């Protein structure tokens, strides 16, 4: 299933347990963001065909972070298309750190993945009519990134920001402190459209981020209190 969000930019939903994928057909290059989980790859291929393209027309795949529901289908793409992600995600993907990747939990082998380009915060990918700024936004995982298009004011947020301020889980490589810092940083940016890895897209982004900061702050506090209590018992 797909939906054209803005001209030549598509939301692709292959269904659970995959994340949502985004496809940009740029003037000069075509980019797929988060191809989803391994077992949904045939659905992804079908959706790309319906959009009028295919995996052979892709010039790059960007992963927003190192969770199998976002990068698993790379296994069918990495011999054909360069795979790009933040270097903290890349290290875990190439070393099969399944404590973070969660491949086995979904019945997949964590070994054998390649990442061709290891990104740093503030790298830019220029597709001609799309200018993709990479923001390292650790918290949900240590390698989480968001992709910001400054001219269109669009944020592709992976599992870092969701509509209505739903906050993400903090997984083994993440932390609340980093998560709150990342949200605060995003909150300084002008964003008109939020394209998250799961759930609804949103045009109420300032409010979404404010709510998320508040909720994450409360959860963090609770977490710290539990830590304190468990120390007192020792
Ligand atoms: Zn995730």
**pLDDT surpasses 90 at 233:** no
Dist. CA 67 → ligand 1 center (Å):
5
What confidence score (pLDDT) does residue 234 get? Answer: 56
What confidence score (pLDDT) does residue 228 get? Answer: 78
Domain positions in the chain are: 2-233
Please tell me the distance from the alpha carbon of residue 204 to that of residue 191, in angstroms, as a whole number.
Answer: 9
Dist. CA 33 → ligand 1 center (Å):
14
Dist. CA 42 → ligand 1 center (Å):
21
Domain with residues 2-233, CATH architecture: 4-Layer Sandwich (3.60)
CA–CA–CA angle 77, 26, 155 (5° rounding) = 85
Q: Which residues contact 205 (CB under 8 A, 6 or more apart)?
A: 155, 161, 191, 192, 193, 194
Indicate the DSSP class of residue 128: S
Instruction: Please state, rounded to an integer, the average pLDDT across all residues of the chain.
Output: 96
**pLDDT surpasses 60 at 45:** yes
Least confident of 6-10, 111-115, 177-181, 225-229: 225-229
Dist. CA 38 → ligand 1 center (Å):
15
What confidence score (pLDDT) does residue 114 get? Answer: 98
Please tell me the distance from the alpha carbon of residue 227 to that of residue 18, in angstroms, as a whole number.
Answer: 33
pLDDT for 101-138, tens place per residue? Answer: 999 999 999 999 999 999 999 999 999 999 999 999 99
Dist. CA 225 → ligand 1 center (Å):
25
Indicate the DSSP class of residue 91: H
pLDDT for 12-26, tens place per residue? Answer: 999 999 999 999 999
- The CA R_g of the chain, rounded to the nearest whole Å, is 17
pTM: 0.95
For residue 12, give the 3-state DSSP assignment.
Answer: strand
Determine how many CB atoms are found less than 10 A away from the CB of residue 102.
18
Beta-bridge partner residues of 6 = 9
Dist. CA 186 → ligand 1 center (Å):
18
């Amino acid at each position: 299933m797909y939906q054209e969000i803005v001209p030549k930019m598509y939301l692709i939903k292959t269904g659970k347990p995959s994340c949502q994928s985004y496809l940009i057909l740029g003037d000069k290059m075509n980019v797929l963001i988060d191809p989803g989980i391994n077992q949904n790859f045939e659905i992804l291929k079908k959706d790309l065909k319906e959009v009028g393209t295919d995996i052979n027309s892709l010039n790059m795949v960007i992963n927003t972070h190192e969770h199998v529901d976002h990068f698993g289908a790379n296994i069918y793409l990495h011999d054909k298309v360069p795979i790009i992600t933040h270097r903290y995600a890349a290290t875990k993907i190439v070393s099969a750190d399944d404590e973070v990747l969660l491949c086995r939990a979904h019945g997949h082998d964590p070994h054998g993945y390649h990442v061709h380009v290891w990104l740093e915060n503030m790298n830019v990918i220029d597709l001609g009519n799309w200018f993709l700024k990479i923001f390292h936004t650790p918290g949900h995982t240590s390698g989480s990134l968001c992709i910001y298009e400054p001219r269109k004011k669009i944020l592709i947020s992976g599992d870092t920001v969701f509509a209505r301020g739903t906050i993400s889980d903090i997984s083994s490589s993440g932390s609340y402190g980093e998560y709150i810092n990342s949200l605060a940083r995003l909150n300084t940016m002008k964003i008109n459209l939020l394209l998250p890895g799961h759930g609804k897209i949103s045009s109420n982004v300032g409010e979404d981020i404010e709510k998320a900061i508040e909720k994450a702050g409360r959860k963090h506090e609770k977490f710290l209190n539990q830590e304190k209590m468990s120390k007192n018992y020792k």
